[in-house]
Amino acid sequence: MVGAAIGTVGAASGAWAQQQGGEAAPTPAPAPQMQVAQAASSTDTGDTSGSQQSSSLNEIVVTGSRIKRTNFDTMQPAEVMGADEISKRGFTNLGQALQELPAFSVPGNSPVGSQGSFGAGQTYVNLYNLGSQRTLTLVNGRRFVSSASSSIFGAVAGSPVDLSAIPTSLVERVDVMAVGGAPTYGSDAIAGTVNIILKKDYQGADVSVSSGLSEYGDAADYNASAVLGRNFNNGRGNITVAVQYDKQNGLTDEDRKGTAGSAGNFFGSATKGQTFTQQLYSGGEHYNVFTNTGMPMVDDGVPISRGKASSAITNDAGQALFFGPNGQLTPFINGQLTGSSLYQAGGSGFPIGDFGNLLTESNRTQVTLLSHYDLTDHIRFNTELWYGHLRAANLRDQPYYNTALFGNAGDVNGNLILNTNNPYLSAADRQTIINNLTANGADPSTFYMARANTDLATGAFRTTTDIYRVVTGLEGDFSALNRTFNWEVTGTYGKSDTSNDDRQLVTQNFFNAINAVRDSSGNIVCAPGYTNAAIATLSSTCAPLNVFGINQASKAATDYITAIAHPKQSNAQYDVLADIGGTIINLPAGDAKFSAGYEYRRETTAFDPGAFYYGQPNGDGTRTQFGNSIPIDPVAGEYHTNEGFTEVNIPVVAPDMKVPLIYNLELEGSARFVDNNLTGTFWSYTGGGSYQPIPDIKFRGNYTRSFRAPAVTEAFSPKGQIFDTANDPCDARYINGGPNPAQRAANCAAAGITQPFTSNIVDFTIPGTSSGNPHLQNEIADSWTVGTVLRPRYIPSLTLSADYISIDISNEISQLGATDLLDACYDGAPGNSFCSTFTRDSTGQVTSVSEGYYNAAIESFKALQAELNYAVNLSEFGLPDNYGAVDFSVNYLHTFSHYYKVGTGDKQYTVGGVQEPRNNFTANIDYKNGGLDFLWQTQYYSETRISVNTPLSNYQYPVMDPYVMYNASVGYEFDGGYRLRFNVDNVLNSHVPFPQAGYSTTRYFSSILGRYYRLTAGYKF
């Protein structure tokens, strides 16, 4: 996991640092009625009968291949989500729609949960939990520019595509191809390929408006879309325009008490005498070492430790005092004490669970134009023009802290130093503080204060992303040597510009403003002699700041201490593709076909942190931060590739040959040679085939060698400072964990750490560094699949498929965070090289860590993926013809094994955790009768462990119960083209399963959000 740019407070258990990938929500997405080897159900795309096209131009290209063919059969596991399913589930974000497929794990980023720095609202899917950077996303078989930040503090590594930029109203279907794609498309398709096929030849108009609202009256969403298409010149040309607008109101964690908020359950350090190290507490995790109203102290320490006043100002009864919301001292009420001195369950402490983003606030506008024109019967001109605008806000995050946890008093995030003559203190409170200082032998003129400044720096930020894309090219066919050949030449240019607006507290001005005095006229002013920070703030005039209580600050004061940080990201993509294909030779079983071509691709990226995040240069090569964030470096780089590829498809036996025990036999293979100016040359290749002994059953298999080239972020990021938390394996909470607990314990003991040991890095961040690595090489994956497809003739509408998927990645590029480095040290051979990447002080506390990117990991994934489709008219069961039809579908993923290994360390498993349930399925029953349609959906996750790589005995309740949620949708299409649809997500109001702690916010988002309603009206003409 990447380090942070600011000091933050870690979760009590820290259990999720061992999991890969970001969080994800099982947010409602389209009913995934998969068609295993045929076209997905699609919407009516209008009358195209006037089109003057040759047969070759009418043939299709299946995802994972460039050979044109007349059917959708594939050699690899493939799923297809049609426009009809997307519409029925009411989704307006394609990335969230795909989350309903069990093959997709928690995304690298989505509108749900905490947002990746510099990219609020962007959505990056994550196939098989192998990382968003290992899922290749295409649009109409062509690459799409990424919006991801190249900063090390961005949401994802690599160049994944933001799927929120694709208008759902224009989507005809989405093909999801497991494993395959690298020999056909190049880098990044290690997990597989997502290919978004857009509507073409659209004739007519389709307009739609919808609105959604939760049962609590919040999280409102408003959407409007229109698709307009027209054929012209007797069908030789077509132009289609799609416009879509979506507005989503956001939520903070505080808006859902009991689950995401401060009143919920959490795992924390167990109290003495327990047999487990992680105890379940209720009432919310409250830090007793600060509040967001201020806790005064007599010295530079923490106010409360294990429920007793430590450095706190106390009353005559010995109770610790803190400032109430109105700025007056009041007794601190302890909650339930935990095994940690830092936090309690409930009480007056800081409710950290309230200060996070649950759902982004966003506005999305997308305008797309698709057109083509047949210059002749054998040459077609194609064009795509794109514009997308996203403005999204992360509503809340951890604030600017002042506490001894993050430095000495007077440091950027250390305790505040205040004068007892501060005019905002009441006379009674001033005397109480002076009395405490005197009793402790301290200077009565100065006291200290810990504070979480939620009213001054909310952690909120707003992202604006503009995407521009142009695709233009020619395709056609010609005859030669008694054969027909097809060809294509296409150029693509894409650009994504992202900027952020962050309100940031400027430390120097903050310190000036809290040093308040009275002038000769009795007015409260800033103490004279101050110097403003070198960074411009909203006001250059110092105004006194009241930090006792909450929301006591004047606008003049907040303007003086606030600067607007404005980091920017720019990505550009250039791609030129030329290919030719056709028949090699006529075989008894049919035509052996080929495709061959060349591709040039150039990716450029540049991140500018802006003046605030860059920091103030000191003249000696170092920089000083202006506020909460450490200085952040700019990142810029580019790479280009020259790539050649070829593919063959060979029919060996065809049905009309009447060969015993071989109804059909087909082979295919492809290869791609890549010359990357950064990593050199690489061959990617694949081979596979399908065999049908009888028409009812097909066996298929494939082997693929794929790769992923280093992204600009991974290769070019300069060395910079970070903050990070970690699950320290030598901590008493984790000493019995890991794949080999005995070796872990022995290594920790050899390092001089005695048990029980409490590691600070588990509960709050420590400083470190992180950097890119220009010497990175390609990741390499060896993958294979084998499976079967059943279409029994006696049940003609039934299709069942099952495929075993194996993906083994070597030379994997990993951004090794503090947890990874510590685990690799103490779970590996004694004194291995990873032990030199961090330092400990004489008490055993981690004091620094050197993170970065390495070709240091392997990863292995094994799973069974299965789909079932059964569509039947009820009249086939003896019912009247007017009783309609039912379409039943199930998509299922069972993960046998998924682990990664860093260096010489032991395997770290991910399957069976809350981000990756071992069993996961989505089932749909769709009833249709005339204009009426009713869909009932069931989503299921099997039971999961709170922490996969620690013993069950570490947790009081180590396993989360299985989860089931139901969604429903009913629609009616009236005569004349009008339609209405009503959706209810989470119909039975399913809750996050027990123990309701340690869960993934995004995976269980629908349960946190509650029952959600959407009404859609549309008109097609």
pLDDT at 883 over 50: yes
Tokens of 549: 């209580």
C-alpha 609: how far from chain center: 22
Q: Calculate the alpha carbon distances from 537 to 395, 439, 534, 542 in Å.
A: 21, 41, 9, 10
**Mean pLDDT value of segment 821-828:** 90
**Phi, psi of 742, rounded to the nearest 5 degrees:** -65, -45
- By the 8 A CB rule, do 896 and 864 touch? yes
Assess whether pLDDT exceeds 80 at residue 53: no
First to last CA, the chain: 51
CA distance 853 to 692: 46
Q: Which residues contact 757 (CB under 8 A, 6 or more apart)?
A: 730, 731, 732, 735, 748, 844
User: What's the pLDDT tens digit per position in 501-511?
Assistant: 999 999 999 99
User: What pLDDT is attached to residue 47?
Assistant: 36
CA 171 to chain centre: 22
pLDDT at position 46 is 36
pLDDT tens for residues 262-298? 788 999 999 999 999 999 999 999 999 999 999 999 9
Are the beta carbons of 550 and 490 closer than 8 angstroms?
A: no
So what's the pLDDT on residue 51? 34
For residue 72, pLDDT beyond 70: no
- Distance in angstroms (rounded) separating the CA atoms of residues 22 and 73: 33
- Please tell me whether residue 74 adopts helix, strand or coil conformation: coil
What is the pLDDT, as a whole number, of residue 522?
93
Burial class from Cβ neighbours inside 10 Å (0-12, 13-18, 19+) for residue 856 reads buried
pLDDT of residue 40 exceeding 70, the answer is: no
Residue 101's pLDDT is 94
Inter-helix orientation angle 818-826/741-750, to 10°: 90
Residue 702 and residue 688 in contact, taking contact as beta carbons nearer than 8 Å:
yes
What pLDDT score was predicted for residue 259?
73
- Does residue 175 contact residue 120 with C-beta atoms inside 8 Å? no
Q: Over the stretch 835-882, which tens digit does the pLDDT of each residue have?
A: 999 999 999 999 999 888 888 889 999 999 999 999 999 998 889 989
Tell me the H-state helices in 502-642. Answer: 507-514, 555-561, 610-614
Which letter does DSSP use for residue 928 in this model? Answer: E
Distance CA 588, CA 732 (A): 70
Which range (130-134, 154-158, 251-255) has the least confidence? 154-158
User: What is residue 930's predicted lDDT score, i.e. its pLDDT?
Assistant: 92
Q: Does pLDDT of 13 surpass 70?
A: no
Highest mean pLDDT: which range of 60-64, 632-636, 670-674, 901-905: 670-674
pLDDT bracket for residue 622 (50, 70, 90):
confident
